[in-house]
Amino acid sequence: MEKPTIAQKSPFVMDMKPGTYYWCACGKSKNQPFCDGSHQGTSFQPKEVVIDEQKTVAWCGCKHTKKPPFCDGTHQNI
């Protein structure tokens, strides 16, 4: 099984507006934490996330979270 590339060892904390977003699961996107298609040719697929109201989100940056796409603190153990 392929392992994702660690984009950063902390979450991407962002104020998000309502909409549909695609979280990068492979860690190779140049548009972190969102997918830019860099996963092509790998076993990874982006995770679709629908946000219904404006809120602050902690997107996983290490790509090893147990609760994708959100940070669960796993980066502290990498």
- Give the pLDDT confidence of 22-40 residue by residue, as tens digits: 999 999 999 999 999 999 9
What is the rounded end-to-end Cα distance, in angstroms, of the chain? 18
Total residue length of the chain: 78
Q: Is 64 a residue whose pLDDT tops 80?
A: yes
pTM of the model: 0.95
Per-residue pLDDT band for 1 (boundaries 50, 70, 90) equals: confident
- From residue 44, give the alpha-carbon distance in Å to each of 17, 29, 77: 26, 12, 22
Q: Report the chain's mean pLDDT, rounded to a whole number.
A: 97
Question: pLDDT tens digits, residue range 14-25?
Answer: 999 999 999 999
Gyration radius of the chain over CA positions: 12
Alpha carbons 9 and 36: distance in angstroms, whole number? 20
Share of the chain above pLDDT 90, in %: 97
